[in-house]
């Protein structure tokens, strides 16, 4: 399955909604945007979920991903990103550029709808300069 837009990513994740706990999911994609794997990386509480970047990187490398979509659910059903959601997204964006496995989107989803950082132009690449 090719996942080239937020709507397709949501269709893959829709059946994964946990109404009781936040979960962080990763859709690993190859260079043709074909789904390699759909992995739940973390499970939290009703209102928060911890995400550690090293576990995300490990998953992406083990899956040999060329790019990925990060997603998490909000059991409250409220799809607007929190300040913490925005901070984590910026951190993962910088990290993904550093390891050269670009993030394509970050979705917040419920059983009936989703919010896409890319569609709302919140996920804007930043430049990272490495000394050589």
Q: What is the CATH number of the domain that holds 123?
A: 3.40.140.10
pLDDT digits (tens, 9 = 90+) for 72-121: 999 988 999 999 999 999 999 999 999 999 999 999 998 889 999 999 98
Range of the domain at 65: 1-12+51-72+99-132
Mean pLDDT (whole number) for 33-53:
86
* Mean pLDDT of the residues in the chain: 89
- Residues 82, 115 contacting (CB under 8 angstroms): no
pLDDT given at position 34:
97
Residue 128 has pLDDT above 70, yes or no: no
Residue 7 lies in a domain: yes
- Under 8 Å CB-to-CB from 13, ≥6 apart: which residues? 25, 27, 38, 71, 107, 109, 114
Residue 45 lies in a domain: no
Predicted model pTM = 0.89
Band of pLDDT at residue 122, cut at 50, 70 and 90: confident
Residue positions counted in the chain = 132
Band of pLDDT at residue 21, cut at 50, 70 and 90: very high
Domains in the chain, number: 1
- Residues 25, 41 contacting (CB under 8 angstroms): yes
Residue 62 has pLDDT above 90, yes or no: yes
Residue 28 lies in a domain: no
Residue 37 has pLDDT above 80, yes or no: yes
pLDDT given at position 126:
46
C-alpha to C-alpha distance for 33 and 88, rounded to whole angstroms: 23
Residue 43 lies in a domain: no
Residue 120 lies in a domain: yes
Q: Which residue has the higher pLDDT, 9 or 127?
A: 9
Residue 46 lies in a domain: no
pLDDT given at position 4:
95
Residue 90 lies in a domain: no
pLDDT given at position 71:
96
Q: Does the CA dihedral 53-55-60-61 come out positive or negative?
A: positive
Run of H or E residues at 83 = helix 83-98
Residue 4 lies in a domain: yes
Distances in Å between the Cα of 64 and the Cα atoms of 19, 37, 57, 101 are 31, 10, 10, 10
């Amino acid at each position: 399955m090719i996942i080239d837009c937020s709507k397709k990513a949501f269709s893959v994740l829709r059946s994964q909604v946990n109404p009781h706990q936040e979960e962080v999911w990763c859709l690993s994609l190859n260079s043709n945007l074909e789904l390699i794997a759909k992995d739940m990386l973390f499970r939290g509480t009703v209102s928060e979920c911890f995400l550690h970047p090293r576990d995300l990187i490990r998953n992406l490398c083990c899956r040999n991903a060329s790019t990925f979509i990060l997603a998490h659910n909000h059991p409250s059903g409220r799809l607007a990103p929190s300040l913490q959601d925005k901070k984590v997204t910026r951190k993962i964006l910088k990290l993904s550029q550093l390891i050269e496995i670009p993030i394509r989107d970050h979705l917040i989803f419920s059983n009936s709808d989703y919010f896409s950082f890319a569609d709302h132009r919140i996920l804007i690449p930043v430049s990272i300069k490495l000394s050589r």
